[in-house]
Amino acid sequence: MAATIHDVARLAGVAISTVSKVMSDSGRISEQTRTRVRDAMQQLDYHPSRHARGLARNCSDTIGVLMPLQRNSAFANPYVFEILCGIERYCASQHYSVLLLDADALQQEPKSVARLVAERKVDGVILHADDKAPALLRQFSEHDLPHLVIGRQPGPHSWVDIDNRHAGQLATQHLLQQGYRRLQFVGNHAADTISTDRLAGFAQTLAEQGLAPHAPALFATGGQYGEAAALWQQLRQQPTLPDALLVAGNPLAAGLLAAAQHDGLNIGPTLGIASFDNYPYAEQTQPPLSVVDIDLFALGEQAARELFLQLAKPSRLVQSLLLEMQLFARPSSQR
């Protein structure tokens, strides 16, 4: 039979409350008593349950991660799993669990955040930002729930994000170094801040070289593979074709590559294509896509790390951009 807290208290010759204080590292307990209790726990191979340890410390030892969890959410945003893995890795190193929550359901139910706080299910939350983020952030602030956002947000909220403007600069510099000069940008959708930030980096790099975009940027409505055929027809209707495309996301880039090949264009020598993120399509296309790969795992780890610092110091405010990215130059952008 597994040892209990009563067995530990009996062997150490202390009260049960003393054992609880030693486990939670609280109260005025002499080092000699702490050592005696820990020796008893080791001798009995006693491992307190996460729930019991949380009660002793008035916390849950759990972090909530909020993101859309509807049918086909993985197709709409295939990158969140890598971010989630980074969050889980860091939380595990802190002996915390991760509770995955549906951001859409929480936003639709007015009392859901209050219930989450009242039931002490989580000590803090990480929110993957989308258009519903502002409403949820207001509720987090009202209930003093520690939170951090993945994605830049206005106001006094802690957030971490990738420097997508810098990513746009790196990709554009690569295309220019390959000898392309008629560059055009294609974004996921006009309201997407990731696309607009990457477009800003694209335009800045061209301007620094005394160049202008070949034609105004085109935008899809969701950045999915299936939207590429219609966008390609818009590109074809222009007086002249660009000699290179910088595409905000690789599902859309893969679709444009296929559409251009269907029209007989030689990808690389005739039309260069570069995009972002190695996952999920970049290595699967023929030819493989050149991308600026964002370290999404590191983004998840950084988000969790910053939230734990906020738990330790509630007044802490962090707003930072990560620069960890790598260019993979492949045949899709080689002349």
Q: What is the pLDDT, as a whole number, of residue 156?
A: 86
pLDDT tens-place string over residues 236-261: 999 999 999 999 999 999 999 999 99
User: What is the reported pTM?
Assistant: 0.77
Spatial separation of the C-alpha atoms in residues 186 and 55, rounded to whole Å: 52
Q: Which CATH topology does 62-162+297-324 take?
A: Rossmann fold (3.40.50)
Show Cβ contacts of residue 154 under 8 Å, excluding neighbours closer than 6 positions. Answer: none
Spatial separation of the C-alpha atoms in residues 310 and 327, rounded to whole Å: 33
For the chain, domain boundaries: 5-57, 62-162+297-324, 164-294+327-333
Of the candidates 114, 101, 103, the residue with the CA atom closest to the CA atom of residue 141 = 114
What class, spelled out in words, does domain 5-57 have in CATH? mainly alpha
Q: Is domain 164-294+327-333 classified as CATH 3.30.460.10?
A: no
pLDDT tens over the chain, length 335 residues? 678 888 888 999 998 888 878 877 766 788 889 899 889 888 888 876 655 555 555 678 899 999 888 776 666 677 788 899 999 999 999 989 999 999 888 888 878 888 888 888 899 999 988 777 888 998 999 889 999 999 988 888 899 999 999 999 999 999 999 999 999 999 998 988 899 999 999 999 999 999 999 999 999 998 889 999 999 999 999 999 999 999 999 999 999 999 999 999 999 999 999 999 988 889 999 999 999 998 889 999 999 999 999 998 988 888 888 878 999 999 999 99
164-294+327-333 matches 62-162+297-324 in CATH topology: yes
Sign of the dihedral defined by the CA atoms of residues 105, 106, 108, 109, in that order: positive
